[in-house]
Chain A
Amino acid sequence: MKAKLISPFWVMVRKEMADHMRSWRYNLMLLLIGLTCLGSLYTAMMSIREAVPKDQTLNAFLFLKLFTVSDGTLPPFITFIGFLGPLLGISLGFDAVNSERNKGTLSRVMAQPIHRDFLIGAKFVGALILISMMFLSLGFLVMGLGLLAIGIPPSAEEFLRMLLFLLLSIIYVGFWLSLAILFSIKFRQSATSALSSLSIWLFFSVFFTMLIQLIANATAPVNATNPNDILQHQQFIQVIMSLSPSQLFSEATTTLLTPTVRSLGPLTLEQVYGAIPSPLPLGQSMLLIWPQVTGMIAATLVCFGISYAYFMRQEIRSR
């Protein structure tokens, strides 16, 4: 056994990746995300000149602006990733198990001398590796083109922030991937699972903010004289907001790529008094978004855990 060069798990991962690479779905998504990425990079370069702060003493973090600045015609890079990333995850995961089951290949694979959890693991890991490759290459493409265009090399901190941003994006897409895999185990029809994943995605990216607005208006304190009440209300709204993974992602990435963001919650005047507008060091930015990062990692793992348990308990019959 030890003499074996590649374990069957990695063989299955490779097979999964090869399947995805040849699929129309993945290539279309790659094209879509690649194009939007180039488009947003172009608008960022057009408007980065205005983004240079007048006060030269402040550390400008100019390079990070490539990801966040836009002139309004196209959204910046982080918005695109936040919007299209879930779609990528869903498209890679929505038919992971049920299509195999419908085609009858699942029982055939299970007939091989492999552990049963290799299958579900390989589905998740294979797709995640593809997503990572795609995001890392896109991220470095933006860095390279940005370096060519503005000619200012990123500082070590800027580089680390960009890497962490890419890592966060991978985790975020990983969440949607594991959610889609969960649905693909749950629903026998791949169309049903795709629609359920998409509806959740749409709910969180479009309707959730409206719903929050509604709740915020309904629960707003009647006489807004006590600042404590307003503060509590704000915090309550924030707690509901953080139920949305897209909200977590946008908060985390904004803080990472905009070092001047010092707080995500409502601020009292006492907290602001005496504060100097200055960028946070990377460690402090990470601490600030640590709850968001924790939530995203935990949600991804929990989703995967549920799908794993669910898959292991399902019986697999040959047709």
Chain B
Amino acid sequence: MSIIRSKSIHFLITFLLLGLFIMPTTKAAEGVILFSPYTDISVTPGESIHYSIDVINNSGSVQDLELAVEGLSNQWKHELTAGGWKIQRIAVKPDDSQTVSLDVDVPLEVEKGTYNFHLIAPGKTSLPFTVHITEEGTFKTEFTSEQPNMEGPSTGAFNFETTLRNRTVENQLYSLTADAPKGWDIQFKVDSKRVTSVNVEANSTKDVDVEIVPPENVKAGSYKIPLKAATNSTSAQTELEVVITGTYDLKLSTPSGLLSTDVTAGDERKLQVEVTNTGSANLRDIELKSEAPVNWEVTFEPKKIDAIEAGKSAEVTATIKADQKAIAGDYVVNMTAETAEASSDAGFRVAVKTSLLWGWVGILIILGVIGGMYYLFKKYGRR
């Protein structure tokens, strides 16, 4: 019972001592205590941790201690220093304390998690440390984009924001390349300057803007643009996706481009008209309409084109029938090709010619008069 009691008293004292020093200390053995206020910390990979450790001698004699770190893998570099020297041992006078510094470099390539190690004075005491690695550390480059997908028409430029993160311990000069399809224009910009390479300091990031200009006649669809940032030792890739929405555009003209013709009043003239799909999406149900002077008739054959593929064209025969009473000279006939999405019109200059009929009538009248005179000459002449 008494043993138990004495043990309980001993524990009580220990707890009291613990309470006195607030933070956990070494097991009080041989009267030497290792004390550090921050024994459980969270750091990111690549950081250096500086511990300040007090070595307290409670005994009545000088304590000569050997100090060592235990439980740290080789990647974790550590160093014990005191008074400006790297130390392996330390001696502490009775009822006195010494301060020792422990520097621990957290490696860059380290897994997320909790790491424990001890500072030990073999045979005497030890002090546990806990380090939480808050994120995954890698010895590599990261090339990321928060929004790697954009949609738009082929006429515009696509501006992506990417981030290049150098997770190595050295400064890196990355060359930036894009493996874009033919005709695509890719430009990298850093601080709104156009660049082909970018310098990123160790363990830091740089924002790289990527401007992508699709070719003018690109067809609708989604396009993947692989980007690469590379040095001789490390490289990273990312992929941007551009979704081209189709543009709808068409053009109405003639195969020769000539927008003028002539027609005799009251007569008709056939005209080849060409409808070209100048957009990047297919067009369907193209209707042809016309706006002509009064009493003129414009008919199309065919009246409706079912579909024209992007970049292709279709020919239509337009028949312009002029009014019988149209006066000589130029008239405007507007033709329109339209779909639900786009339309195009062309103004044709139609020169109206008057019928030669009355000209011949006039000539006949004159011939009749001349004939009459000839009769007169015959009858009365040469008397």
Residues of A within 8 A of B (CB): 115-117, 262-263, 267-271, 273-276, 278, 280-281, 283-285, 287-288, 290-291, 293-294, 297-298, 301-302, 304-305, 308-309, 312-313
Contact = CB atoms under 8 A, between A and B. Distances in A.
Nearest to A116: B383
Interface stretch (B111-119, B140-148, B362-370): B362-370
Interface stretch (B183-191, B203-211, B324-332): B324-332
Contacts of B382: 115-117
Residue among B295, B296, B351, B380 with max Cβ neighbours from chain A (10 Å): B380
A284 B369 contact: no
28 contacts: A115-B382, A115-B383, A117-B381, A262-B328, A263-B328, A267-B327, A271-B323, A273-B293, A274-B294, A274-B296, A274-B333, A275-B330, A275-B332, A276-B349, A278-B329, A283-B353, A284-B328, A287-B356, A287-B358, A287-B359, A290-B358, A290-B359, A291-B358, A293-B362, A294-B363, A298-B365, A302-B369, A308-B373
Contacts of A284: 328-329, 353-354
B49 interface: no
A288 B383 contact: no
Contacts of B366: 294, 297-298, 301
Nearest to B370: A301
- 4 shortest A-B CB distances, which residue pairs? A274-B293, A294-B362, A312-B380, A270-B294
B358 A305 contact: no
A30 B328 CA distance: 38
B383 to A, nearest CB: 5
B85 interface: no
A275 B294 CA distance: 10
B258 interface: no
B87 interface: no
B71 interface: no
B380 to A, nearest CB: 3
Given A268-B325, A274-B296, A312-B383, 9 more contacts: A117-B380, A270-B293, A275-B327, A275-B332, A283-B353, A291-B362, A298-B369, A305-B369, A308-B380
A276 B380 contact: no
Nearest to A260: B329
B353 to A, nearest CB: 6
A154 to B, nearest CB: 22
B374 to A, nearest CB: 10
Contacts of A116: 381-383
Contacts of A294: 361-363, 365-366
A176 B265 CA distance: 36
Interface of B: 292-296, 323, 325-333, 349, 351, 353-354, 356, 358-359, 361-363, 365-366, 369-370, 372-373, 376-377, 380-383
Given A276-B349, A291-B362, A263 B331 contact: no
A113 to B, nearest CB: 12
Contacts of B372: 305
Contacts of B331: 274-276
Contact of B381 (A262, A271, A273, A312): A312
Contact of B330 (A269, A276, A283): A276
B354 A287 contact: yes
A239 B12 CA distance: 140
Residue among B293, B295, B333, B362 with max Cβ neighbours from chain A (10 Å): B362
Given A276-B331, A298-B365, A271 B383 contact: no
A116 B381 CA distance: 7
Contacts of B356: 287
Contact of A271 (B327, B351, B380): B327
Contacts of B349: 276
Given A276-B331, A278-B329, A291-B358, A305 B294 contact: no
Contacts of A293: 362
Contacts of A290: 358-359, 362
Contact of B328 (A273, A287, A309): A287
Contacts of B323: 270-271
A115 B296 CA distance: 60
A301 B383 contact: no
Contacts of B292: 274
A283 B372 CA distance: 29
A269 B327 CA distance: 12
A297 B359 CA distance: 13
A308 B327 contact: no
Contact of B329 (A280, A304, A309): A280
B353 A278 contact: no
Nearest to B364: A294
A117 B382 CA distance: 7
Nearest to A313: B380
A268 B353 CA distance: 18
Nearest to B325: A271
Contacts of B376: 305, 308-309, 312
A51 to B, nearest CB: 21
B22 to A, nearest CB: 97
Contacts of A301: 366, 369-370, 373
A274 to B, nearest CB: 3
